[in-house]
Structure 1
Amino acid sequence: MKYFKFLTVVTLAATIAFFSLYSVHLPTATPAGSDKVAHFTAYLVLVLTAAILRPKSIAFYTVSAILYGTLIELIQPTFSRQNELLDFVANSLGAISGGAIGVTVTRYVRHRTQAS
C-alpha cells in the first residue's frame, strides 16, 4: 500500500511535468486565463491527493509542490515553452489550497472518528 500511495503522487507529478513542458495544442477558442485555472487545479489535486494519502506530511507536500512548480517554470524555456509569473502564482495558490483543504479534511475525519 505504501508504494501505491507513492506511485499515485509521482504519477500526478509526472503528468503535471509532461503537460507543463511539452507543447499541447489547445483549441484556439480557449478563454483567456483558462490555463491558470488548469495550473491551479493541477497543483490543488496533487497536494490534496498527497495530503489524503499521507496526512502527517501535508506541509512537506505543499512546500514540495511549490518548489516543483517553480522548478518547472524555470526550466520551461529549455523546452521551447515560455515561463510566466502568473503560472507560478496559480501553481502556488493551488498547492496552498490543496494543503488547506487537506488539513480541513483530515481534522474533520479525525474529529468524527474520535467522536464515534
Structure 2
Amino acid sequence: MMLKLTLVIALVIAAFTLTPPGASEPGIAGGDKLMHFLTFAVLAMPMAYTGRFPMLWIVLVAASYGGLIELIQPYVGRSAEWGDWLADGLGAFLGAWLAARIGRRGRAS
C-alpha cells in the first residue's frame, strides 16, 4: 500500500514540476523552495514509515528523483536550480526521519 502511495505522490510531483510554469506558481518569496521541501518530505514519508527500507536509501532515491527532475526541467520550459535540488534533499531527509520515528513508535505500542 505504501509503495503505491509513494508512486502516486511521485507522479503528482512529476506532473507539477515537468509542465511549463503557470499561474499556480507560488508568489511569495521562497515559496518555490518551501514547496520543494514539503513535497519531497511527503514523498519520503510513506516508505520511511514502514521501516522496511533503510532511511539512507529512501533519502538518496528521493533526492536523486529531485535531481532528475531538475535535469529535465529546462526541456519543458522551466529552469533547473541547485537550490530546488537542495530543498528536495532536505525535505526528503526530514520527511523520512519524522515518518521513521512515528512508525517505530507505532510499532512499539
TM class by shorter chain equals 0.7 to 0.9
- Tell me the number of residue pairs that the alignment of Structure 1 and Structure 2 aligns: 108
**1:31-110 equivalences in 2 (<5 Å):** 31-52=28-49, 54-57=50-53, 58-110=55-107
Quote the sequence identity (%).
31
Contiguous gaps of at least 5 residues in structure 1: none
In 1: Cα distance, 2:79 partner to 2:89 partner: 18
Task: Tell me by how many angstroms 1:33 deviates.
Answer: 1.1
Contiguous gaps of at least 5 residues in structure 2: none
Distance 1:55 1:21, change over 3 A: same
Larger radius of gyration: 1
Structure 2 residue matching 1:98: 3-state secondary structure: helix
Distance 1:80 1:29, change over 3 A: closer
Task: Tell me by how many angstroms 1:24 deviates.
Answer: 3.8
- Give the structure-1-normalised TM-score: 0.82
Aligned to 1:25: 22
Runs of 4+ in 1 over 6 A off after TM superposition: none
- Give the structure-2-normalised TM-score: 0.87
In 1: Cα distance, 2:88 partner to 2:33 partner: 8
In 2: Cα distance, 1:33 partner to 1:89 partner: 13
Query: Does the CA contact (< 8 Å) of 2:33 and 2:84 recur in 1?
Result: yes
Query: RMSD of the TM alignment (CA)?
Result: 1.8
Distance 1:107 1:42, change over 3 A: same
Distance 1:29 1:96, change over 3 A: closer
Task: Tell me by how many angstroms 1:62 deviates.
Answer: 1.7
Q: Larger helix proportion, structure 1 or 2? A: 1
